[in-house]
Amino acid sequence: MQAEAATFFANGEPVGEEVQEFSLDTTHRLIMECQRMYPVVPMQVRNVMNAFTLEGYSPPVGTRLFIAQTATHYMDDVFPDPFSFDIDRYLPERKEQVGHGYAPFGLGTHTCLGQNWVELQLALNLLLIAHYFNLELSPENYQLRLNPIPSLAPRKSLKFVVAEKRRELPS
């Protein structure tokens, strides 16, 4: 990602259309895998408005349903070795890019309207950090622990320290 950041910022800070010209393959795959393993909103709540039957079950109208749209993220037949963090699973030559199997922002009419904005902000912020700093976990042996409410996020004990300032920040 630091190589992508160096290319991205080679001529200063890109603006407007310049941002779209860059291929951010590694950064994009990193973001996708983080969102697959740790989706911010792993489920949605919906109320049954019309009668239907699914797999022999007919929930009454008015029933509140919890839809775990990201459950497929941990299914071995959709993402082999689903509990391993592997950004290469999104390479074109791998077959793990299952369309509806990847749903960190929901699906269909309930897809998050901010998906593109969020992904752009994640990429830009990660590239800025990679360009200017080397970070390390503190402590080094930190074990990730998550808080599920109000949204899936690391506990406040997750800390980073600046191990190296790679270049001066613009003023």
Compute the average pLDDT of residues 136-142: 91
Q: Is the pLDDT of residue 95 over 80?
A: no
User: How big is the CA angle at 119 (ends 168 and 31), to the nearest 5 degrees?
Assistant: 80
| Mean pLDDT, range 111-139, rounded to an integer | 92
Per-residue confidence (pLDDT) for residue 135, from 0 to 100: 95
Average pLDDT over residues 26-53: 92
Tell me which amino acid residue 153 is.
A
Q: What is the residue-averaged pLDDT of the chain?
A: 89
C-beta of residue 65 within 8 angstroms of C-beta of residue 45: yes
Most trustworthy range by pLDDT among 112-116, 128-132, 153-157: 128-132
d(CA 120, CA 64): 33
C-alpha–C-alpha distance, residues 24 and 39, integer Å: 21
Q: 109: how many CB neighbours lie within 10 A of its CB?
A: 5
- Per-residue pLDDT, 8: 87
What residue type is assigned to position 4 of the chain? E
What percent of the chain shows pLDDT beyond 70? 96
Note the pLDDT of residue 21. 58
Mean pLDDT of 115-138: 93
pTM of the full predicted structure?
0.85
pLDDT tier for residue 97 given thresholds of 50, 70 and 90: low
* pLDDT for residue 96: 72
Domains and CATH numbers, the chain: 2-165 (1.10.630.10)
At 6, list the tokens.
Answer: 């160096």
User: What does the DSSP assignment read for the chain?
Assistant: -HHHHHHHTTTSS--THHHHHS--HHHHHHHHHHHHHS-SS--EEEE--S---BTTB-PPTT-EEEE-TTGGGG-TTTSSSTTS--GGGGSTTSS---GGG--TT--GGGS-TTHHHHHHHHHHHHHHHHHHEEEEESSTT----EE-SSS-EE-TT--EEEEEE-SPPP-
Q: What angle do CA 101, 45, 119 make, to 5 degrees?
A: 50
